[in-house]
A and B are shown apart, each in its own frame.
Chain A
Amino acid sequence: GAGVSQSPSNKVTEKGKDVELRCDPISGHTALYWYRQRLGQGLEFLIYFQGNSAPDKSGLPSDRFSAERTGESVSTLTIQRTQQEDSAVYLCASSFGTYGRSYEQYFGPGTRLTVT
């Protein structure tokens, strides 16, 4: 069956450029999450969506980061004016629900972003 997919798998961009990262969750999953993982580090929560709304944006590191979700499906994470410290793997996950029952999250393979 189809899992969570992310595109592109790798992205190399120049400092100052904007990038868009895409996530296609598992069909029927209402919750979608974005994480950042720097080399050798743990997962850093960025934002999550319940349906198309984002109740918690507190993890976004700066106003250069934004995300949207449409049709309770695909989500896009946009990073404007990229900086070298943005270089990381960006992971997307989806689940049936969120708080309380702690529904299992299914992760995509990630997008490796390199800012030169």
Chain B
Amino acid sequence: LAKTTQPISMDSYEGQEVNITCSHNNIATNDYITWYQQFPSQGPRFIIQGYKTKVTNEVASLFIPADRKSSTLSLPRVSLSDTAVYYCRVPNAGNMLTFGGGTRLMVKP
């Protein structure tokens, strides 16, 4: 099973760059890596998805090394509103689309 492991929590300050790394040692050849953001009392929402190397959108960048056993979500210049839980997700055997425990990011003024 392609389990994911990511830090439970992280603290940062406004204006800093935040990097959250997720390990997924058993990722399958066809699997994409997807990151979601969840605010309190809301469902998760899609941030970014990638297969290899680097993907960038208006919100974040995703870095995936050649072995694809990990990925790093990079949030540039975070603000207080980026305080949320960030989930790394990969599919696993049996089509059970697992979300890990997530990383609780706290951005401080």
A-B contacts, 9 of them at CB < 8 A, read: A42-B85, A50-B95, A55-B94, A98-B91, A98-B97, A102-B91, A105-B44, A107-B43, A107-B45
Decide yes or no: A109 and B42 within 8 Å by CB, A45-B96, A102-B34, A104-B49 being known contacts. yes
Is B32 in contact with chain A by the CB < 8 A criterion?
Answer: yes
- Checking A4, A43, A99, A104 against B87 with a beta-carbon cut-off of 8 angstroms, the contacting residue is A43
A33 cross-chain contacts in B, Cβ below 8 A: 97
- Checking B46, B94, B100, B102 against A58 with a beta-carbon cut-off of 8 angstroms, the contacting residue is B94
A45 engages B43 (CB within 8 Å): no
Residues of chain B having any CB pair with chain A under 8 Å: 30-34, 36, 41-46, 49, 85, 87, 89-91, 94-102
Is A110 in contact with chain B by the CB < 8 A criterion?
Answer: yes
Is A93 in contact with chain B by the CB < 8 A criterion?
Answer: yes
B96 cross-chain contacts in A, Cβ below 8 A: 45, 48, 56, 58-59
